[in-house]
Amino acid sequence: MSDWDKEFGIIAGSKKENRRIRPGNIERRKRRIRRRRRRTFVCFVIVVLLCVVAVKYLFNRSEGEKLSINVVDAECVDAFPIDDIGKGDVAKVLLVNKENVLPKDYVPCDMVTLNIPFGYYVADEARLMTREAAEHLEELFEAASADGKRLMGVSAYRSYSTQDGIYRNNLATKGEGYTSIYSAKPGKSEHQAGVAIDLSTFDMGGQLGVSFASTPEGEWLDEHCTEYGFIIRYPKDSMEITGYAYEPWHIRYVGKKVAAIIKERGITLEEYEGVMDFNSYVKAGLLKGYDSNGVMVTTEEPTTEEVTTATTTNTSIAPTTEAPTTAAPKLTTEAPKKPKATKAKSTTEAPKPATTAAPKEEPATEASSDDEANEDDADE
């Protein structure tokens, strides 16, 4: 035992215990414990957030795969907008904004997956676009890449439910003032129509912002996007007309003809004379794939109508061909054989033969009509 220990009466075996009970050491231990607890809590929160992000990503991916299967495999013709459509010199374009909404259940049936670079975090749903718009956007990306510009896609198609979630999230995190000028309510977004897309650059990491306009990619897009049928949908100093703030990253496909007119006049889409809301667009028969009542029409229905109209016209022309005396015996001899191939003629020629031939032709027509009904039910 040292002289110092003897003087202060400290026993060698209890030095460790004495250090533990010193006020300064006790406080230091408390601080270490608090730091450990904070680190543990932060690690726990990080793990939970990572799990939530992973689950959300997998959910969005699965939903996007389901949607892409249902949409891409659908049998229908191209939807809007078709370049140079409409009567006269004014091409018609569908207008979607705060006053002109889309139906809640509307989904473009001609969408395809875009063959452009996206961020790894982008869901499959957001990689879809209508076929015509997708083809022109891919051409735009090829031209930009040839000029050394590295554009990347951020968000193309958004369903009604997806837009609803984005709007609610922005409303809760960024407030009503910001959300009202930067985010559309569900049903009022062009993304649901499959003809709009948000773009960014690799240098910006896929982020969206007004600074995109001053990048080489943003300047190139502003100058050349109309050459491929796209417009900067919400230009600078036009919020009073469009209802939204300046978004240099948001482009909308309207067709080359309309895009050239809008750029030449320096106007917005709202100021173009050929815009129409969804209901007017459908009633005018401009939305391909839909009838005048807004009901989706598949490719098989018009073909059946064409067949029926063709058969009726053939039957109406048939008496004129039977007028010459030389053709009459040929038609009478071939009448029993043709009902198998031409069902419409069998119904019209049934009363002409003798009464013994009528019962033979009636079950054939009934069977054929049943077969057509079964085929229609299977298609539906």
228 within 8 A of 240, measured Cβ to Cβ: no
Amino acid at 353: P
210 within 8 A of 246, measured Cβ to Cβ: yes
Amino acid at 140: L
Q: How many CB atoms lie within 10 A of CB 344?
A: 17
Backbone angles phi, psi at 174, to 5 degrees: -115, -10
* Tokens encoding 222: 């502003």
Q: Which residues pair with 130 in a beta bridge?
A: 111
3-state secondary structure of 112: strand
pLDDT in tens, the chain (380 residues): 455 555 555 555 555 566 666 677 777 888 888 899 999 999 999 999 999 888 877 765 554 444 443 444 444 444 555 544 444 568 889 999 999 999 988 888 889 999 999 988 888 999 999 999 999 999 999 999 999 999 999 999 999 999 999 999 999 999 999 999 999 999 999 999 999 999 999 989 888 999 999 999 999 999 999 999 999 999 999 999 999 999 999 999 999 999 999 999 999 999 999 898 988 888 877 776 555 555 555 444 444 444 344 444 444 333 343 444 444 444 444 444 444 444 444 334 444 444 444 444 444 444 444 444 444 443 43
DSSP label at 198? E
* Residues with active-site annotation: 247
pTM of the predicted protein model: 0.59
What angle, rounded to 10 degrees, do the helices at 131-146 and 216-224 form? 130
Percent of residues in the chain assigned helix, strand, coil, to nearest 5: 55, 10, 35
DSSP strand pairing (151-155 vs 128-130): unpaired
* CA pair distance 348, 317, nearest whole angstrom: 12
> CA-based angle 318:319:321, to the nearest 5?
65
CB-based contacts of 29: which residues, under 8 Å, 6+ apart?
A: none
* CA pair distance 295, 140, nearest whole angstrom: 33
Amino acid at 292: S
